[in-house]
Amino acid sequence: MATICIYGAGSVGCYIGGRLLASGSEVCFVGRPRIGDELREHGLTLSHYQGGHWQVPPEAIAFSTEAVAATEADLVLVTVKSADTAAAAARLAGLLRPGAVVVSFQNGLSNAAILRAVLPHQIVLEGIVPFNVVARGPGAFHQASDGRLEVKAAFELKPFLAAFDEAGLPLTRQLEIVPVQWAKLLFNLNNAINALANLPLKEELSQRAYRRCLALAQAEALALLRRAGIRPARLTPLPASMIPVALHLPDALFSRLGRKLLAIDPLARSSMSDDLAARRKTEVDWINGEVLRLAETLGRKAPVNACLCGLVHAAEQAAERPRWSGAALLTELRKAATPS
């Protein structure tokens, strides 16, 4: 049986690894001492917003705080925060088996490239986790929205496909992963808005003013993508180019047309909102910041996404967490977008 290592056992890592472990795969976890203490005392309790439930007892969980635990792994799923990718790569270098498969299940666009540069003897692939995972207590992790795991297609994935199928987390393999990454990132531009709103995702997206903020951020990114010749993949019934239009619809009409977008656990918040609540550095520079980097390569500006980055960074440093109303945030973004 193939051995799978979760490197970065946070909410996403514990959920995916726990589902694999619950279905019979051999899984080890590498993470921070706090998570290890939780799992040793409480085990893993996993749930799905559509009703699924899985339990893994503490004695069935192999957990370590050291990268050496990944030495014998056939597959390593990297789920650390993007800011920690370079450090993770450095710790794994020289430890992993030649030919081991490494999948970056992280936000942003460049993490796999960072891993690949330091792990030349492994097969490093881009991956995407499109669903939201919420920590609901010690060892308890809840999938709060829909979506299937996506990964760059590679022959070397074949030995692991059955394990993911058995866990109910099938891998959708993509020959062209960059358009899929951008399509997901366009949705993730909402993470900053949700963090600034300090509201559950469903409540935030149900309000037209916040959706208009997202529409501004997406429209700006889409214009840059067109200039760069990148066409985002179609992940919803609407093409990516039409989503900003739909976001402007009145609340009643959007609630009918946007059912998939609003198919979210009522308590779920973005991971960026959770980071602000926990006083952790956010991943805004690897989400909205990706739009800024694209703009820079094109000799252009991205003032809306730059404004969102600045507001989130200010919130990281604030003594008291701000809560922006939709109207106030929309005014701020429109002001940023208007040339002085």
Answer yes or no: do 163 and 16 share one domain: yes
Q: What is the pLDDT of residue 123?
A: 98
- Longest CA span, the chain: 62
> What's the mean pLDDT in 267-292?
94
- Residue where a domain terminates, one of 175, 197, 218: 175
Cα–Cα dist 164/149, whole Å:
9
Cα–Cα dist 62/60, whole Å:
7
Answer yes or no: do 158 and 243 share one domain: no
Find out whether 130 and 156 touch, Cβ atoms under 8 Å.
Answer: no
- Residue where a domain terminates, one of 175, 197, 216: 175
**261 pLDDT above the threshold of 70:** no
Answer yes or no: do 233 and 157 share one domain: no
Answer yes or no: do 46 and 140 share one domain: yes
Cα dist from 235 to 182, 218, 240, whole Å: 11, 15, 8
> What's the mean pLDDT in 311-337?
97
pLDDT tens sequence across 111-167: 999 999 999 999 999 999 999 999 999 999 999 988 899 999 999 999 999 999 999
Answer yes or no: do 148 and 189 share one domain: no
**Helices and strands per DSSP (H, E), number in the chain:** 15, 12
Cα dist from 242 to 218, 237, 246, 247, 258, whole Å: 10, 10, 7, 9, 12
Answer yes or no: do 90 and 220 share one domain: no
Answer yes or no: do 185 and 69 share one domain: no
Cα–Cα dist 340/328, whole Å:
19
Q: What is the pLDDT of residue 237?
A: 80
Answer yes or no: do 289 and 155 share one domain: no
Q: What is the pLDDT of residue 235?
A: 83
Cα dist from 105 to 116, 215, 273, 308, whole Å: 14, 26, 19, 24
Mean pLDDT of the chain: 95
pLDDT tens sequence across 47-104: 999 899 999 999 999 999 999 999 999 999 999 999 999 999 999 999 999 999 999 9
Helix (H) or strand (E) holding 75: strand 75-78
CATH number at residue 255: 1.10.1040.10
Answer yes or no: do 34 and 70 share one domain: yes
Domain count, the chain: 2
Answer yes or no: do 128 and 46 share one domain: yes
* Residue type at position 316: E
Name, in order, each residue with C-beta under 8 angstroms of 311's C-beta and a sequence gap of 6 or more: 192, 196, 324, 329, 332
Q: What is the pLDDT of residue 268?
A: 87
CATH number at residue 20: 3.40.50.720
- Residue where a domain terminates, one of 123, 158, 175: 175
Show the domain range for 200. Answer: 179-337
- The model's confidence at residue 277, banded by pLDDT at 50, 70 and 90, is very high
Answer yes or no: do 25 and 53 share one domain: yes
Answer yes or no: do 39 and 162 share one domain: yes
171 phi and psi, to 5 degrees?
A: -90, 120
Q: What is the pLDDT of residue 236?
A: 81
Cα–Cα dist 30/66, whole Å:
6
